[in-house]
C-alpha cells in the first residue's frame, strides 16, 4: 500500500474521469459517427480517464529533494 499511496489521487482521477466520460457520452452521443469522442462510448471513457488522471495528478505535492546545497 505504501508504494501505491503517491498514485492514489491519479487513480481516483482516472476513475472519476472515466465515469464523467461515460456520462458525457450518454447525454451528448453523436448519432452520425462523425464526432471523434462521443461517437463511441469507449472513446469517451478513455478520453475522460486520461483527462481526469491528468487533472487530479496536477494537485500532487512535490517531493523534497535530498541534495546538499
| pLDDT of amino acid 1 | 67
Condensed to tens digits (0 to 9), the pLDDT of residues 20-59 reads 999 998 888 777 878 888 788 899 999 999 999 999 988 8
| pLDDT of amino acid 65 | 66
Whether residue 12 has pLDDT greater than 90: yes
Domain region containing 50: 6-57
Burial of 31 (0-12, 13-18, 19+ CB in 10 A): exposed
| pLDDT of amino acid 23 | 93
- Confirm whether 35 is domain-assigned: yes
Q: Evaluate whether 52 touches 13 at the Cβ level (below 8 Å).
A: yes
- Confirm whether 45 is domain-assigned: yes
CA-to-CA distance for 2 and 26, rounded, in angstroms? 37
- Confirm whether 68 is domain-assigned: no
| pLDDT of amino acid 69 | 61
User: What is the domain count for the chain?
Assistant: 1
- Confirm whether 64 is domain-assigned: no
| pLDDT of amino acid 35 | 85
Amino acid at each position: 500500500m505504501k508504494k501505491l499511496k503517491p498514485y492514489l489521487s491519479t487513480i481516483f482521477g482516472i476513475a472519476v474521469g472515466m465515469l464523467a466520460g461515460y456520462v458525457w457520452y450518454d447525454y451528448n452521443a453523436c448519432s452520425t459517427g462523425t464526432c471523434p469522442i462521443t461517437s463511441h462510448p469507449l472513446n469517451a471513457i478513455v478520453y475522460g480517464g486520461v483527462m481526469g488522471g491528468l487533472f487530479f495528478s496536477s494537485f500532487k505535492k512535490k517531493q523534497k529533494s535530498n541534495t546538499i546545497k
